């Protein structure tokens, strides 16, 4: 660190550190990690982890973003592809199940199921676009799991559809690729790691609680992953692509942790 930085830190260090801890808590969401980071992170540690000189607000921001990407890698290593998220009896389903999106419920996208085609692209052998009938013709399964939103609520719901691993195999996806990306009809987008895409409980869902997925919960298709936080579960999926180039996401690009799960 140069002398300017050192004197700037001497003056502002405590405030920056406090802000940084609060910001990391806000951005990294998961309580276990929040605790770990709040107990162990010092400004020097943040500088070391990120390789950034913490000279102003922008560089602190930048450093935090790098720590978050570092966390993605660690979480990727820690992810156990064989561990299942808890499932629940149907009697525990939350009614009514909450709605959430980056807009209000009065602005929910209405997708026309008749003309709908699911686009498939990137590192896959078969790029044909799917009708809903074709998706319904694949073997289906369902699950009752807990959805956890970082805004501070969780709810139990029942989703049914095509196991995503079967879908990826069916389209001849390169299963050694790093990412699966999603583009949605409401311009939302997100992406996930391949091990989670192949996880036994990751479902390309067509139904909610035994009925056709209603518009508010993402008609015609929502990817449901009980191993990931709410914002990683895209609704109204329009296109799916397999890639080795980091695709980011709507909230992820604004600082939410990319791995976003366990």
Ligand X SMILES: Nc1nc2c(c(=O)[nH]1)N[C@H]1C(S)=C(S)[C@@H](COP(=O)(O)O)O[C@H]1N2
Applying CB under 6 A, the residues found at the interface with ligand X are 98-102, 149, 184, 186, 188, 216-217, 230-231, 233-236
206 class by beta-carbon count within 10 Å (0-12 exposed, 13-18 middle, 19+ buried): buried
Name the binder of 99 from Mo ion, ligand X, none, CB < 5-8 A by kind: ligand X
Structure-token match 């919960």, residue found: 217
CA–CA distance, 231 with 188 (Å, rounded to integer): 10
Asked whether position 149 contacts Mo ion by CB under 5 A, the answer is yes
> Is the separation of the CB atoms in 192 and 171 below 8 Å?
no
Q: Which residue is nearest to ligand X (CB)?
A: 230
Q: Which does 159 bind (CB under 5 to 8 A by kind): Mo ion, ligand X, none?
A: none
DSSP code per residue over 18-44: HHHHHHHHHHH--HHHHHHHHHH--HH
Shortest separation between residue 185's beta carbon and ligand X, angstroms: 7
Among 218, 230, 234, 260, binds Mo ion (CB under 5 A): 230
Question: 2 or 254, CB closer to ligand X?
Answer: 254
Partner that binds at residue 233, options Mo ion, ligand X, none, CB closer than 5 to 8 Å by kind: ligand X
Report the residue number, 116 or 231, with the smaller CB distance to Mo ion: 231
How many Å is the maximal CA-CA distance in the chain? 67
Cβ count within 10 A of residue 16: 19
Residues 59-118 that bind Mo ion (CB under 5 A): none
Name the binder of 188 from ligand X, Mo ion, none, CB < 5-8 A by kind.
Answer: ligand X
Say whether residue 231 binds Mo ion (CB under 5 A). Answer: yes
Q: Residue 234, interface with Mo ion (CB under 5 A)?
A: no
Residue 101 interacts with, from ligand X, Mo ion, none (CB under 5-8 Å by kind): ligand X
DSSP secondary structure letter of residue 118: B
Q: How far is the CB of 79 from Mo ion (least distance, A)?
A: 20
Instruction: In angstroms, give the least distance from the CB of 111 to ligand X.
Output: 10
Is the Cα torsion angle 128, 129, 132, 133 positive or negative in sign? Answer: negative
Q: Confirm or reject binding of residue 189 to Mo ion (CB under 5 A).
A: no
Which residue from 166, 163, 168, 187 is spatially nearest to 120, judged by alpha carbons? 168
Q: Decide: 127 and 184 in contact? Cβ < 8 Å.
A: no
In angstroms, the Cα distances linking 212 to 54, 176, 189, 258 are 51, 33, 22, 29
Residue 12 binding: pick among Mo ion, ligand X, none (C-beta 5-8 Å cut-off by kind) = none
Closest CA to 141 of 110, 120, 165: 165
Q: Contact residues for Mo ion (CB under 5 A)? A: 149, 230-231
């Amino acid at each position: 660190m140069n002398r300017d930085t050192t004197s700037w830190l001497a003056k502002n260090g405590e405030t920056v550190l406090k802000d940084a801890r609060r910001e990391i808590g806000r951005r990294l969401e998961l309580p276990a990690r929040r605790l770990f980071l709040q107990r162990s992170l010092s400004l020097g540690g943040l500088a070391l982890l990120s390789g950034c000189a913490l000279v102003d607000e922008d560089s602190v921001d930048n450093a935090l973003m790098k720590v978050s990407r570092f966390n993605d890698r660690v979480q990727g290593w820690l992810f156990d592809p064989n561990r299942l998220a808890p499932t629940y009896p149907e009697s525990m389903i939350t009614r009514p199940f909450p709605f959430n999106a980056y807009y209000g419920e009065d602005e929910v996208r209405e997708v026309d199921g008749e003309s709908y085609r699911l686009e498939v692209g990137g590192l896959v052998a078969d790029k044909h676009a799917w009708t809903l009938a074709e998706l319904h013709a694949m073997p289906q399964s369902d699950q009752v799991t807990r959805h956890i939103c970082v805004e501070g609520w969780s709810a139990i719901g029942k989703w049914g559809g095509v196991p995503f691993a079967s879908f990826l195999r069916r389209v001849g996806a390169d299963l050694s690729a790093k990412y699966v990306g999603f583009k949605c009809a409401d311009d939302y987008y997100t992406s996930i790691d391949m091990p989670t895409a192949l996880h036994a409980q990751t479902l390309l869902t067509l139904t909610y609680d035994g009925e056709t997925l209603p518009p508010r919960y993402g008609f015609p298709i929502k990817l449901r992953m009980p191993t990931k936080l709410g914002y990683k579960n895209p609704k109204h999926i329009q296109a799916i692509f397999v890639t080795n180039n980091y695709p980011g996401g709507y909230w992820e690009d604004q600082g939410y942790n990319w791995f976003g799960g366990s």
